[in-house]
Amino acid sequence: MASAPSLRCIKKEARKSIDRGPRINDRIRAREVRLIGGKGEQLGVMPVAEALAKAEEANLDLVEVAPTANPPVCRIVDFGKYKYEQAKKEREAHKKSKTSDLKGMRLSPKIGIHDLQVKIRAVSGFLKSGDKVRVSMWFRGREMAHPQVGEQILRRMAQDLADVAVVERVPLMEGRNMIMILAPKKN
């Protein structure tokens, strides 16, 4: 029977939810901070109380933007606007990041020449779009007695794709499959 969470765990969870995001106004714990004004100008190092007074005077919030710096860096901004700008930057960074997918292509040792050319064109398209390709040769029954046939086909494929691909992993047997990984060639 599972026991109920202890009071200590509950308090720790509550503390985590409070600590999320940058500290603002009276939650800033440092004695002194390096202050940046509303227009981006450096206002120097000063006690937190003085920085809070300047933020209240401007009718804005004091936001800790670099808590690990010595002394911590704080900025006088509207906190809602600051959070919006941070979320916008995060979305832009996420859009620009391209994750390289690992596409797959399955072949058989009995593949015909034309079918192989079709598969090579498909793999070439994956590589040109920047994805890695895992080419697996699938052996069934008595085909397992002749793995060299499958290896020849995979090496031919790598040779035909030499202008757009680099062999990242040479053909190796893994159970009933022989696997080769191709990566796009850097320009």
Q: Where are the domains of the chain?
A: 22-91, 102-184
Among residues 33, 60, 54, the alpha carbon closest in space to that of 44 is found at 33
pLDDT at residue 137, rounded to an integer? 92
22-91 maps to CATH 3.40.470.10? no
- CA–CA separation, 18 and 21 (whole Å): 8
pLDDT of residue 111: 92
Encode pLDDT of 8-62 as tens digits.
555 555 555 455 777 888 788 888 888 888 788 888 888 888 888 888 888 888 8
Global pTM exceeds 0.85: no
How far are the Cα atoms of 33, 53, 80, 117, 120 from residue 50, in angstroms, in the given order? 10, 5, 22, 73, 68
Q: What is the pLDDT of residue 13?
A: 54
- Positions of the chain with pLDDT under 50: 17
Query: Can 22-91 and 102-184 be said to share one CATH topology?
Result: no
Yes or no: is domain 102-184 CATH 3.30.110.10? yes
Contact 124, 160 (CB under 8 A): no
pLDDT at residue 119 in the model? 94
Q: Can you read off the two tokens belonging to residue 176? A: 């009933």
